[in-house]
């Protein structure tokens, strides 16, 4: 019998608030962050095979490793080792999330692969156990499993769901070159040694704004401590942020460690208009519109 492939869809994220604390003894930074999952996604298709192999298509596919270091492959291997299963399968990743863009594309693939393998193998494990494996793969992987809007603490892996009313509309400006997350954190450490860049503070007001569903209230509260570091490494992003504001966005922010810039807009129509202007201004490689929150990794029926 030919095995039936299983597809799992997993969302991109934007950090509405990203407060970075000091570096911990394990090298990670203590975070207080508010994630929102967006309607930009990767699809990961798994089918049992006689070897573990990876095939990547779509947005930025050329820059995704297809060797065992790929996070989706590591996810399948980690789950197989823990539950005594055969990790051999073909993994097809259709990328919609920018690679090295600060939108948790690799984490989405890992979350999708975890859920997909657990489903294929019929593992009767709870969300907590899946979260545990997810956290060993990367700080953002648990959020990619859960989706919606959530407060993240620790490395970002400890999650509390947050209330969000309605739908928020975003325009995303994808950059020509990616940024390495560790390099951006290192740059922030360097900036903090040299001076005292402002810190994001408490996310309480932002959480209330998300719960109100009012993008005008949310816009001035978006905050990202990694933005200064991303701008320091890619100064051209200042122009991108300015162009989005001039195009009518309510607010613009670097997404996570960047370099994708995320613009909060007043409506879906406004998001399309901002995208059109940004595309014409030549300040980014390409644009996408998206809305959030959306669910985390989900098996595609």
- Catalytic residue numbers, as ranges: 13, 140
Q: What is the distance between the alpha carbons of residues 76 and 89, in angstroms, rounded to a whole number?
A: 9
Specify the residue for token string 């810190």. Answer: 199
Residues that contact ligand C5P, how many (by CB under 6 A): 11
Instruction: List alpha helices for the chain, DSSP H.
Output: 71-83, 105-120, 127-137, 141-146, 181-194, 204-212, 215-218, 227-233, 237-246, 268-281
Q: Which residues pair with 93 in a beta bridge?
A: 44, 56
28 touches ligand C5P by CB under 6 A: yes
Q: How far is the CB of 245 from ligand C5P (least distance, A)?
A: 28
Q: Under a CB-based contact definition with an 8 Å cutoff, are residues 210 and 162 in contact?
A: yes
* Binds ligand C5P (CB under 6 A): choice among 161, 182, 280, 295: 182
Please indicate if the annotation marks 58 as binding a ligand: no
Helix/strand/coil for 224 = strand
Minimum CB–partner distance for residue 243 and ligand C5P (Å): 28
Of the two residues 23 and 123, which places its CB atom closer to ligand C5P in the complex?
23
Residue 13, interface with ligand C5P (CB under 6 A)? Answer: no
Binds ligand C5P by CB under 6 A, chosen from 12, 14, 16, 31:
31
Does 155 sit near ligand C5P (CB under 6 A)? yes
Is 50 exposed, middle or buried, given 0-12, 13-18 or 19+ CB atoms closer than 10 A? exposed
156 is a contact residue toward ligand C5P (CB under 6 A): yes
In the bound state with ligand C5P, the residue whose beta carbon lies nearer, of 210 and 226, is 226
Q: Is 181 in the site for ligand C5P (CB under 6 A)?
A: yes
Q: How far apart are CA 156 and CA 163, in angstroms?
A: 18
What's phi and psi for 271, nearest 5 deg?
A: -65, -40
Dist. CA 219–CA 268, nearest whole Å: 15
29 binds ligand C5P (CB under 6 A): yes
Q: How far is the CB of 191 from ligand C5P (least distance, A)?
A: 14
The reply, when asked if residue 101 is annotated as ligand binding, is yes
Considering the rule CB under 6 A, would residue 96 count as an interface residue with ligand C5P? Answer: no
Please state the residue numbers annotated as binding site for ATP: 98-108
Q: Which residues bind ligand C5P (CB under 6 A)?
A: 28-29, 31, 138-140, 155-156, 181-182, 185
């Amino acid at each position: 019998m030919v095995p039936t492939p299983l597809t799992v869809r997993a969302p991109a994220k934007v950090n509405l608030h990203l407060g970075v604390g000091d570096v911990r003894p394990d090298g990670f930074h203590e975070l207080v962050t508010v994630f929102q999952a967006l309607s930009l996604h990767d699809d990961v298709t798994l089918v049992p095979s006689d070897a573990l192999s990876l095939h990547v298509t779509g947005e930025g596919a050329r820059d995704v490793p297809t060797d065992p270091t790929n996070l989706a492959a590591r996810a399948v291997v980690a789950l197989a080792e823990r539950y005594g299963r055969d990790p051999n399968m073909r993994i097809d990743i259709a990328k919609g999330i920018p690679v090295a863009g600060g939108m948790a594309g690799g984490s989405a693939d890992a979350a999708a692969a975890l859920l997909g393998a657990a489903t294929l193998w019929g593992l009767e494990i709870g969300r907590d156990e899946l979260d545990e494996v997810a956290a060993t793969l990367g700080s953002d992987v648990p959020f990619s499993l859960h989706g919606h809007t959530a407060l993240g603490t620790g490395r970002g892996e400890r999650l509390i769901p947050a209330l969000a009313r309605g739908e928020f509309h975003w325009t995303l400006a994808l950059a020509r070159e990616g940024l390495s997350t560790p390099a951006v954190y290192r740059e922030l450490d360097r900036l903090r040694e040299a001076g005292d860049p402002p810190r994001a503070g408490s996310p309480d007001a932002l959480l209330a704004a998300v719960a109100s569903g009012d993008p005008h209230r949310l816009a001035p509260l978006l905050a990202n401590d990694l933005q200064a570091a991303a701008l320091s490494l890619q100064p051209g992003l200042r122009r991108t942020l300015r162009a989005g504001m001039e195009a009518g966005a309510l607010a613009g922010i670097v997404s996570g460690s960047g370099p994708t810039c995320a613009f909060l807009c007043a409506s879906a129509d406004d998001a399309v208009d901002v995208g059109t202007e940004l595309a014409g201004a030549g300040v980014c490689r390409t644009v996408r519109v998206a809305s959030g929150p959306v669910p985390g990794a989900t098996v595609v029926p």
